[in-house]
Amino acid sequence: MRLHREGTPTLLLTIAVVCAALFALWNWPVLPKPVIIVLTAGLLAVFGIIVWFFRVPGRNVPKGDDDVLSPADGKVVAIEEVQETEYFNDKRVQVSIFMSPLNVHVNYNPIGGTTSYYKYHPGKYLVAWHPKSSTENERSTVVVKHPRHGEVLFRQIAGALARRICTYSRAGEPAQQGSEFGFIKFGSRVDVLLPRDATVTVKLGDRVSGSESVIARFNNMA
């Protein structure tokens, strides 16, 4: 396991603050020792949580050209037919995955092909499971065109705690299935919009792993 590069500024700042606080607590003790011990444990716990948040575990990407992989770790909170208005302007099947602050927050390409669209949208910070978060929150939209099955849209959505979406995809660049395309800091959500004839292989409440869990399969050749 390694730590994500997006965490470097946060981790450096946290180390500086924790070290300064610990130095002050133990070198200028103005509190009873039991209180100092409790505060020390609390500071170390906070640092541990931040390190845990920016972890990047190794993944075993399954080999399936007809498979759509989960773009994120988390819980499936929506499976529904929606009218997509940003890119396709038609009906799509949406699978939404909510990432809690304890989940890995790396985002992965669900299919392979060529990135055909990318756009960042500033917006609100509604809770990630809010019905309007897909269209009103800060978000980034990416579309990848599969060489056989056409295009799939996936959208990073900031939540109430998230304040930064990182997206590395750009139009015209290759996209490898299961490879990293972005990162969202703290609680957030990723929507995947599939062709209506795709077969969804997960159900509401399922826990999925980014780049490992198959969430859908294509049924036709575009």
**Residues with active-site annotation:** 188
Tell me the CA distances in angstroms from 42 to 17, 21, 78, 144, one per residue in order: 13, 11, 36, 44
Q: What region does 211 belong to: left with phi over 0, alpha with psi -120 to 50, or beta?
A: left
Number of Cβ atoms within 10 Å of the Cβ of 37: 13
Q: Provide CB contacts within 8 A for 27, sequence distance 6+.
A: none
**For 121-158, b where at least 16 C-beta lie within 10 A, e where not — what string?**
beeebbebbeeebbeebbbbbbbbbbeebebbbbbbbb
Identity at 149, one-letter amino acid code: H
Residue 134 · residue 203 · CB < 8 Å: no
Q: How far apart are CA 144 and CA 154, in angstroms?
A: 8
Tokens for 28?
Answer: 């200028």
Q: Are 181 and 112 in contact (CB under 8 A)?
A: no
DSSP 3-state assignment of 202? coil
